[in-house]
Amino acid sequence: MSAKGFPKSERLLKRREFLQLTDRSRKVHTQHFIVIRGDVSGLSARLGITASRKTGNAVARNHSKRLIREFYRLHKGLFSFSDYNIIAKPGAARLEFSDIFRELTSALQRLG
């Protein structure tokens, strides 16, 4: 598998993992996202993406999740070896990739 992929080992998959991450974490709010970072976990960063119905219809939610996954896939170096959850807020579905890149890069830098 290439280093640019997004294998299952780098994903948060279970509800329990999302809840544990929310309990002990740091949060950064941006205009269109909430980025949550947990404790240092292991050999790689793990990412979960949340987009509720407030974000838009199914097409809009899937579009924003696809762009967030692409951001992660292309910029893994910005993520430390921790668990992350990126929550899309209303309006995130209307963003271009360059806007998502700018906003998430800034949020990750603020998280440290």
pLDDT digit string, tens, across residues 67-110 = 999 999 999 989 988 999 999 999 999 999 999 999 999 999 99
Q: Kindly provide the b/e burial profile for residues 50-86, where b requires at least 16 CB atoms within 10 angstroms of the residue's own CB.
A: bbeeebbeeebbebbbebbeebbeeebebbeebbbbb
**Secondary structure of residue 31 in the 3-state scheme:** coil
- Say whether pLDDT at 25 is over 80: yes
- Confidence class for position 54, pLDDT limits 50, 70, 90: very high
Within-domain flag for 70 = no
| 61 occurs within a structural domain | no
Q: Is 4 inside any structural domain?
A: no
Does residue 3 fall inside a structural domain?
Answer: no
Inside any domain, residue 104: yes
Which pTM was predicted?
0.91
CATH of the domain at 108: 3.30.230.10
Instruction: Provide the pLDDT for residue 2.
Output: 52
- Integer Cα distance of 45 and 36 in angstroms: 12
- Give the rounded distance of the alpha carbon of 75 from its chain centre: 12
- Specify whether the CB–CB gap between 12 and 85 falls below 8 A: yes
Residue 2 covered by a domain = no
Residue 89 domain boundaries: 11-51+80-112
Total domain count, the chain = 1
The average confidence (pLDDT) of the chain is 90
Instruction: Count each helix (H run) and each strand (E run) in the chain, helices first.
Output: 3, 4
User: Is 66 contained in some domain?
Assistant: no
Q: Is 62 within a domain?
A: no
Residue 1, pLDDT score: 43
